[in-house]
Amino acid sequence: MEDLELLIELHRPHDRQGPGGIAETNKAIQLAGLDQSSNLNIADIGCGTGASALQLASTLNAHVTAIDFLPEFIDTLKQRANDLGIADQIKPMVGPMEDLPFKEGEFDVIWSEGAIYNMGFEKGVKEWQRFLKPSGLLVVSEITWLTDKRPEALDTFWNSQYPEIGTASEKMAILEKANYSPLGYFTLPEHCWLENYYEPLQKSFADFLASHADDKNAGALVQAEKEEIALYQRYKAYYSYGVYIAKNLEESA
Ligand code: SAH
């Protein structure tokens, strides 16, 4: 099978496709000062199978436009929304984050967990800004260095994977330069990576490999996932996702 098909099959059955957690999404909701009173219109970009989109819709009684470029993930999200009885609050869309089909100033909040790196943090926060209302909020998680210094091998690895990886102060400077005001920041704790994301994934490796017994690509995918997990285990003192909450200061788009 093709790599992308395999990746979809491996990740689709899980609650989330990246590190995160219900308590942490709630913490970001609180830091952003969001509540049920204002009929919020939210976009969740790179929503996967819907971890945050579904939580935002039910916790905030909000209307959530949930977009991802993988139709399979969006199908699963639709199913989950139906099962939860909140399908009327979710607008599922398939599309690329680099070319969003939104209107200027459409949203009170733009939310994105573990996804903006696909187009790059700086480009993402700049290009998505026009879809926010004046004073609208951006809540985005982004891979972040936790310390000023780190082992060279780790630095080299991440710079080859995602050269934009930076410290929180560097990310906040990008937000400020793009005319956002940072309101809050915290890092995802270890359980968001291990219990919530890597462990469920690890548990599914055996069945996944068994159903693709002679497929070299499937073996290579699982091997790559295992290496990612080992890297995290070894170097988790040095990187995590930072969650950034910022207010849009642009007057109009
Ligand atoms: N927010 C979800 C998924 C995070 S994984 C969660 O926290 O569980 C990153 C997601 O971004 C995946 O669902 C992937 O399909 C999506 N994605 C990757 N590149 C994309 C792009 N260019 N446009 C839209 N979605 C993209």
- Could you list the pLDDT tens digit for every one of the 253 residues in the chain? 899 999 999 999 999 999 999 999 999 999 999 999 889 999 999 999 999 999 999 999 999 999 999 999 999 999 999 999 999 999 999 999 999 999 999 999 999 999 999 999 999 999 999 999 999 999 999 999 999 999 999 999 999 999 999 999 999 999 999 999 999 999 999 999 999 999 999 999 999 999 999 999 999 999 999 999 999 999 999 999 999 999 999 997 5
C-alpha span between 168 and 148 (Å, rounded): 10
Go through 96-131 and write b for each residue having 16 or more CB atoms within 10 A of its CB, e for each that does not. Answer: ebeebebeebbbbbbbbbbbbbebbbbebbbbbbbb
d(CA 18, CA 113): 8
* Torsion-angle region of 114 (φ positive above 0: left; ψ -120 to 50: alpha; else: beta): left
CB 100 within 8 A of CB 67: yes
Ligand 1 centroid – CA 171 distance (Å) = 20
Which protein residue has the closest C-alpha to ligand 1 atom 23? 96
Phi, psi of 77 (to 5 degrees): -60, -45
Q: What is the pTM of this model?
A: 0.98
- How many angstroms separate the CA atoms of 68 and 85, rounded? 21
Helix (H, G, I), strand (E, B) or coil at 70: coil
Tell me how far the alpha carbon of residue 153 lies from the centroid of ligand 1, in angstroms: 27
Residues at CB less than 6 angstroms from ligand 1: 16-18, 20, 46-48, 51-52, 68-70, 73, 96-98, 113-115, 118
